Amino acid sequence: MDHSASDPRRSPRAKVFLAATLECADGILPVMLRDLSEHGALVESEGGLSRDSEVWFCRNELRVHGYVAWVHGKQAGIALSRALKAEVVLRHVNRPEPRPVEETIHRRPALTRPGMSAEEQRWADEILRGPVRRRIK
């Protein structure tokens, strides 16, 4: 197969570490998706892929026909038969949700603010009752 007409590196790649599958003539092969672009994907697998073999790349509800452009060790490049739109690529790259920050844990102690916690109150009392130090003149 001559696939030199299409350059799979012409679009930006999203670096990821996600589970995916490749459906090929030998069956379904679980792979680890390392990056995804509009024109291709970099996957890692335990083997079973050969160059120029036809595959269906599957990740969640995304299913795209392609071929194995190259194989090097455990890694393989998948060239997709049709270009994905940027929004489709980004939809399949999960962005982590920001973790909520509990205000009572991540706040500065304040001696003048109403509603001090018991720990803040104890800390303030210790400071206020501590030994008085003389000023050196």
Cα separation, 116 vs 21, whole angstroms: 54
CB atoms under 10 Å from CB of 100, counted, come to 6
pLDDT score for 3:
45
Asked if 68 contacts 57 with a C-beta cutoff of 8 angstroms, the reply is no
DSSP 28-80: EEEEEEEEE-SSEEEEE-SS---TT-EEEEEETTEEEEEEEEEEETTEEEEEE
Q: Compute the distance between CA of residue 70 and CA of residue 79 in angstroms, rounded to an integer.
A: 9
Fold of 14-91: Thrombin, subunit H (2.40.10)
Q: Which residues pair with 71 in a beta bridge?
A: 76
Domain ranges of the chain: 14-91
Question: So what's the pLDDT on residue 128?
Answer: 79
The per-residue pLDDT for 109 is 56
pLDDT tens over the chain, length 137 residues: 444 444 445 677 777 788 899 998 888 999 999 988 888 899 999 877 889 999 999 888 888 999 999 999 999 999 999 888 766 666 656 566 777 766 656 556 555 556 677 887 788 788 877 765 555 55
- State residue 69's pLDDT score: 94
Whole-model pTM above 0.75? no
Query: Quick one: pLDDT at residue 8?
Result: 45
What DSSP element (H or E) covers 27?
A: strand 27-36
